[in-house]
Amino acid sequence: MHKQPHFRALSRTLPFLALFLGACAPMPVAEVTMNRGAPASDAARVVVQGFPGRAGTPPEIGNAEIAQDILDLQFAMESGRPLPVLSRFEGPITIALTGDVPPTAQTDLERVIHRFRAEAGLDVRQAKAGTRASITMDFQPRSALNKVVPSAACFVVPRVSSFKEYLSNRTAPETDWTTVRQREHVAIFAPSDTTPQEVRDCLHEEVAQAMGPLNDLYRLPDSVFNDDNFHTVLTGFDMLVLRAHYDPALRVGMTRSEVAARLPAILSRLNPRGDAIHRAGDTSATPRAWEAAVAAALGARGSQSGRTEAAAQMLRIARAQGWQDGRMAFSLFAYGRTQVRSDFSAALAAFERAGEIYRSLPGGEIQAAHVDMQLAAFAIGQGQPERALDLTRRAMPVVTAAENASLLATLHLIRAQAYAKLGRKAEADAARLDSLVWARYGFGSDAQVRARMDEIAGLAARAVKG
């Protein structure tokens, strides 16, 4: 049997009017040269804005639901293969960065280690030079990684510490997660030639999963352990999951039933407020057919007609399942993005309904902000600049709290176009500069920044022609 590693799916950076699921990372204030593509009136050098960093907010769901989520995360792989026992590290956990390490990775690692220690209570530290780390994050060219796992942005493998070691053992039992009990050495393989945001995304999700649960669940609204890619910074829910995973009441080698028997007392101790929350979320299993439709609808491959049919299939399955959670909202979101060019009214209705559902879910604020960004783009294209400003104004505090610079840059660009349409040139210029300080980190290259600016400017141009 193929020993599939755990992996984080490639970022879904699709056409702006279709779907944009971006994220980025906090970084130290530094100067970068925007010497290609920035308007001549803009400063030649802009300061890349950094987030101050913040702890995740406590989960807003009850402990009974959290316990079910933890069990489903701990005892299965993303592929559906069951994991027979609880596996974890014992003792201090050390992390090393190797390979062609991107310049922003060290700062992001320091920040996430601080969060692991402060929020999850884990004894995590950076490995000393010359020692073999518990977790090694090895940065390699994307082309090399794609030859091994084409659909992955980054992936994690047990019992190896380098890419060369993994290539020599990739079909061996040692790299099969189902054989692991006590974790000793784990490697994360991430692209060295990617955007700073993707580096940070991999640091958060893959380091968390190298230490803790290996599964992802589409039903989770407030977690990076979800392949919808809305959340990319570890949340308060995620930190609670890790804290529970390493609770002293659990031991390496415990079965699902043994862990299930101890989780209620563990969660009562770690999250007492959760005992008073009795809202019952939908913890039903997600059909593989729906997950396959997600991949077909949002993947880079395939025809537009194929993606449209896959999104419609997502929506049919969601309705048949009776979902009213994030899976229904995500189905509407995907369906709306495939209808933008063929049935604008259907697309608008789907996005608006998705936003309503996301706003009703605990922890669904960032998803709702993505919907607001989409609706604001529609408003620009329809010649409604005031509505675009209202939507972006609602989204921006949420996006800032989520530390999502690429989405924040996009919102500023939409605001710049809205101000320009209203003849408020000074505010338009200020919004454009505000976008630039986030865009380089979120989008990476000057060419991608230029493309995003041109894309949104094109919306306004279309409105003028209409």
Write down the pLDDT at residue 196. Answer: 86
| pLDDT band with cut points at 50, 70 and 90 for residue 161 | very high
| pLDDT band with cut points at 50, 70 and 90 for residue 237 | very high
Task: Please indicate, yes or no, if residue 172 is contained in any of the structural domains.
Answer: yes
Write down the pLDDT at residue 43. Answer: 37
Instruction: Find, among 328, 321, 401, 332, the residue nearest to 369 by Cα.
Output: 401
Q: Which residues lie across from 99 on neighbouring strands?
A: 139
For residues 294 and 268, state if they share a domain. Answer: no
For residues 132 and 220, state if they share a domain. Answer: yes
- What is the share, in percent, of the chain residues with pLDDT greater than 90? 69
Task: Please indicate, yes or no, if residue 227 is contained in any of the structural domains.
Answer: yes
For residues 240 and 292, state if they share a domain. Answer: no
Write down the pLDDT at residue 462. Answer: 56
Residue where one domain finishes, among candidates 222, 249, 276? 276
Residue where one domain finishes, among candidates 244, 276, 308? 276
Q: What is the largest CA-CA distance in the chain?
A: 66
For 42, 182, 302, 337, 339, the CA distances from 305, given in Å and listed in that order, are 41, 47, 8, 12, 10
**What amino acid occupies position 107?**
T
In sequence order, what are the residues at sequence separation of 6 or more whose Cβ sits closer than 8 angstroms to the Cβ of residue 424? none
Task: Please indicate, yes or no, if residue 182 is contained in any of the structural domains.
Answer: yes
Question: Greater confidence, 47 or 20?
Answer: 47
What would the mean pLDDT of 231-239 be, rounded to a whole number?
94
Assess whether pLDDT exceeds 50 at residue 18.
no
Task: Please indicate, yes or no, if residue 168 is contained in any of the structural domains.
Answer: yes
Q: Which of 21-30, 164-173, 233-242, 327-336 has the lowest mean pLDDT?
A: 21-30
Q: Which residues lie across from 188 on neighbouring strands?
A: 137, 156
End-to-end CA distance of the chain: 57
What would the mean pLDDT of 112-129 be, rounded to a whole number?
96
Helices (H), ranges, 79-152: 105-119, 142-148
For residues 319 and 229, state if they share a domain. Answer: no
For residues 455 and 317, state if they share a domain. Answer: yes
Say which CATH number the domain at 380 has: 1.25.40.10
| pLDDT band with cut points at 50, 70 and 90 for residue 10 | very low
Question: Greater confidence, 22 or 249?
Answer: 249
Assess whether pLDDT exceeds 90 at residue 341.
no
Range of the structural domain that residue 339 is part of: 288-465
Write down the pLDDT at residue 7. Answer: 56
For 206-220, how does the pLDDT look when each residue is reduced to its tens digit (9 = 90+)? Answer: 999 999 999 999 999
36, exposed or middle or buried, with CB in 10 Å at 0-12, 13-18, 19+? exposed
Instruction: Find, among 200, 201, 132, the residue nearest to 160 by Cα.
Output: 132
Write down the pLDDT at residue 9. Answer: 55
For residues 324 and 261, state if they share a domain. Answer: no
Question: Greater confidence, 302 or 390?
Answer: 390
Say which CATH number the domain at 184 has: 3.40.390.10
Write down the pLDDT at residue 353. Answer: 98
Write down the pLDDT at residue 201. Answer: 86
Task: Please indicate, yes or no, if residue 33 is contained in any of the structural domains.
Answer: no
- The answer to whether the pTM exceeds 0.85 is yes
Assess whether pLDDT exceeds 60 at residue 42.
no
Domain count, the chain: 2
Question: Greater confidence, 61 or 14?
Answer: 61
Question: Greater confidence, 300 or 203?
Answer: 203
Assess whether pLDDT exceeds 50 at residue 388.
yes
User: Residue 373 in contact with residue 395, Cβ under 8 Å?
Assistant: yes
For residues 228 and 140, state if they share a domain. Answer: yes
Q: Which of 55-64, 93-102, 181-190, 452-461 has the lowest mean pLDDT?
A: 452-461
Write down the pLDDT at residue 238. Answer: 98
Write down the pLDDT at residue 410. Answer: 94
Instruction: Find, among 32, 22, 29, 31, the residue nearest to 52 by Cα.
Output: 29
Q: Which of 298-307, 356-365, 428-437 has the lowest mean pLDDT?
A: 298-307
Task: Please indicate, yes or no, if residue 12 is contained in any of the structural domains.
Answer: no
Write down the pLDDT at residue 184. Answer: 97
